[in-house]
Amino acid sequence: MQHKKRHHRQESARGLCPNCGVEHVMYEGVARFHCQNLMCLLAEEQRIDLASDREQANPPLGTARLFGKERGKMFGVLVCHTANGTQRVLKAFSGQFNGIWEVAGWAPPLFDIQQFSSLYAKYEPNIKEIGHLLQDTDSSSPRWTELAHQRKRLSQQWMQHIHSLYTLANFRGQTRSLSAAFTGRGGISTGTGDCCAPKLFHQAIRENLLPSGLAEFYWGRENASQTRQHGQFYPACAHKCAPILGFMLCGLEELSGV
């Protein structure tokens, strides 16, 4: 019992809010229990399209790839309650799954997928072409340097446009762009806003749900830096999540009566 209580107060996310200047914190609550249930389901089904029957399973959504060269991925659960007290359990996977952003039953991304795809179609082929030219060009030549600078400029433009697609909301009913909500040092890293925690809070805010617990775990082959191990729990990351979760969590304490 004490072991369970300790996890209830285990910190799972935090961030400094640029609005109120307060560092907001989220705890696991009973979310770890629901994560363990999800782990059992993933192990049994070996896929993430859990809303579909096995006969209709989509092969690209199988989890075997997470144990191969692609390595694993973070998964998360957010326990929430509706206005009438009914419990809702939301779940999310980080980033894309085999190039797929939206899967039934999982938290959606924080942007419009069609707009994202349009930007991808506009920039990716040009950046890829320059990459091929770089491979065929002498790295000591002025031409190589020019091409490298050109690819860097295009990549930066692409990321700026991608970041402009993200709209963050919080529990006070406020919204901000990703750049306006970001409190981290330096530039915004690729993938900021795509982790489990931002996706889950975004869905909860959009559906007027009151979160009471968050937990995240890693599923699959260990990551390249060996900082993530299969089946282990980890708090929301400090580099990409913390700089935006402060804004997203603002107002939750008042709603929760904490």
DSSP 81-140: E-TTS-EEEEEEESS-BTTB---TTSPPPSS-HHHHHHHHHHHHHHHHHHHHHHHTS-TT
User: Can you read off the two tokens belonging to residue 15?
Assistant: 């961030």
202: left (phi over 0), alpha (psi -120 to 50) or beta: alpha
In this structure, the answer to whether residues 141 and 227 fall within a common structural domain is no
Report, as an integer, the average pLDDT of 171-181. Answer: 95
In this structure, the answer to whether residues 175 and 87 fall within a common structural domain is yes
pLDDT for 151? 96
- High-pLDDT (> 90) share of the chain, %: 90
Helices (H), the chain: 2-8, 31-45, 113-135, 142-164, 178-181, 196-206, 242-249, 252-256
pLDDT for 256? 82
- How far apart CA 116 and CA 27 sit, in angstroms, is 32
In this structure, the answer to whether residues 200 and 147 fall within a common structural domain is no
* pTM recorded for the entire structure: 0.92
In this structure, the answer to whether residues 92 and 117 fall within a common structural domain is no
Higher pLDDT, 186 or 216: 216
**200 — pLDDT class (breaks 50, 70, 90):** very high
- State which of 123, 141, 165 marks the end of a domain: 165
* Average pLDDT taken over every residue of the chain: 94
Full domain range(s) for residue 71: 2-108+167-256
In this structure, the answer to whether residues 104 and 150 fall within a common structural domain is no
pLDDT for 1? 45
- State which of 165, 185, 204 marks the end of a domain: 165
Q: Kindly report the number of other CB atoms within 10 A of residue 37's CB atom.
A: 12
**7 — pLDDT class (breaks 50, 70, 90):** low
What residue has token string 């889950």? Answer: 200
In this structure, the answer to whether residues 197 and 87 fall within a common structural domain is yes
In this structure, the answer to whether residues 174 and 224 fall within a common structural domain is yes
Dihedral over Cα of 152, 155, 157, 163: its sign: negative
10 Å CB burial of residue 157 (0-12, 13-18, 19+) is: middle
pLDDT for 6? 57
pLDDT tens, residue by residue, 66-99: 999 999 999 999 999 999 999 999 999 999 999 9
In this structure, the answer to whether residues 101 and 174 fall within a common structural domain is yes
Cα distances (Å, whole numbers) of residue 3 to 10, 93, 184 = 11, 27, 34
> Strand 175-177 and strand 167-169: pairing?
antiparallel
Report, as an integer, the average pLDDT of 105-116. Answer: 96
> How many domains does the structure of the chain reveal?
2
Report, as an integer, the average pLDDT of 106-117. Answer: 95
In this structure, the answer to whether residues 117 and 51 fall within a common structural domain is no
Residue type, 89: V
In this structure, the answer to whether residues 126 and 13 fall within a common structural domain is no
- State which of 165, 183, 206 marks the end of a domain: 165
User: Can you read off the two tokens belonging to residue 80?
Assistant: 């929430």
pLDDT for 2? 45
In this structure, the answer to whether residues 123 and 240 fall within a common structural domain is no
In this structure, the answer to whether residues 143 and 199 fall within a common structural domain is no
